[in-house]
Amino acid sequence: MAAVDEMTIRKSVTFYASFDDAVAGDFGAGGRAAGTRFDNPTEAGQFVFESGFDSKIFTIARDKGIHGGALQVNDVLPLRGRLFFPAEKNLEFDPKGWGGTVSLWINTDPDTSLKTPFCDPVQITERGANDGGLWIDFPDVKPRDMRLGAFPGAAPGGRVFKESDPDAPLVWMKQVGFKVGQWHHLAITWNNFDTGQKNARAIFYVDGKRIGELQDREIAMRWNIAKTGVYVAVNYIGLLDEFSLFNRPLSAEEISRVHGEPGLLSTLKTK
């Protein structure tokens, strides 16, 4: 196994939220304050962005995280509302080709705690989940499965994938069986997005183990990064902790290290 340098891992972080003390990021050049996005009630397909968040729904559970405190989500927002952090400068997107990693911990029972057909512990997108969307979700099945989705943004005149398409860019984990009180680590690594070539790759890890991957595909997000959000705990109910973004795809050994040492990034709080 290749040696894993923890300082190299930390230096690759572009955004980090410990959720020890506040519903906010601790590290990130693109803004650490959380906002909320809602569907526009009068204009279909449009969104309303607001600073701040509902402090009754999003709270901090002190000393109840996988490391320190955790984000506690108590209910679902109306109008498909969701908590977000800005993607610009918190995510090193390059329209000519890029890669990265998202890592987080969750503590919930997807079969009993969730109130909606779909729940995304993380979703990164400008327009929607199926149109330039990178995400992990619990879909509308019982018992609940979990999926990685890496859906290209529609090119001019091109099509948008449907989740029901046989070649939809999905990686499935069947009947996850998570229970309240159990912490589970989720991660996606990706590389060669937005290159215009069929060389993209995305790998889904759960608790340090590789679940599956997408490879040899053209995956272009086609984002206007200034309008793109990193959405956290979409329709999620439970605890969520140690959320981080990286400027490169971490190796399998590095993912294992992040999983095995949940407080590895906590020193970034002082930066």
CATH number, domain with residue 179:
2.60.120.200
CA distance 70 to 64: 6
SS3 197: coil
Q: Which range marks the domain in which residue 265 is found?
A: 6-270
pTM, two decimal places: 0.97
In this prediction, residue 64 carries a pLDDT of 98
CA distance 57 to 174: 29
Quick one: the chain helix, strand, coil %, rounded to 5? 10, 40, 50
Cα–chain center distance at 197: 24
Residue segments in the chain with a per-residue pLDDT below the cut of 70: 1-2, 270-271
Please count the CA atoms within 13 angstroms of the CA of 53 that sit on its side-chain side: 28
Residue 110 within any structural domain of the chain: yes
| 160 secondary structure, DSSP code | P
In this prediction, residue 155 carries a pLDDT of 86
Read off φ and ψ for residue 185, nearest 5 degrees: -95, 130
Residue 16 within any structural domain of the chain: yes
Could you report the per-residue pLDDT of 65-78, keeping only the tens digit for each? Answer: 999 999 999 999 99
Residue 52 within any structural domain of the chain: yes
Count: domains in the chain: 1
Residue 89 within any structural domain of the chain: yes
SS3 256: helix
Contact 28, 89 (CB under 8 A): yes
Residue 55 within any structural domain of the chain: yes
Read off φ and ψ for residue 256, nearest 5 degrees: -60, -35
Residue 1 within any structural domain of the chain: no
Which of 134, 128, 131, 160 has the alpha carbon at shortest distance from 147? 134
CA distance 262 to 6: 12
In this prediction, residue 160 carries a pLDDT of 87
- DSSP string computed for 20-56: SSSSB-SEETT--B-EEEEE-SSSTT-EEEEES--TT
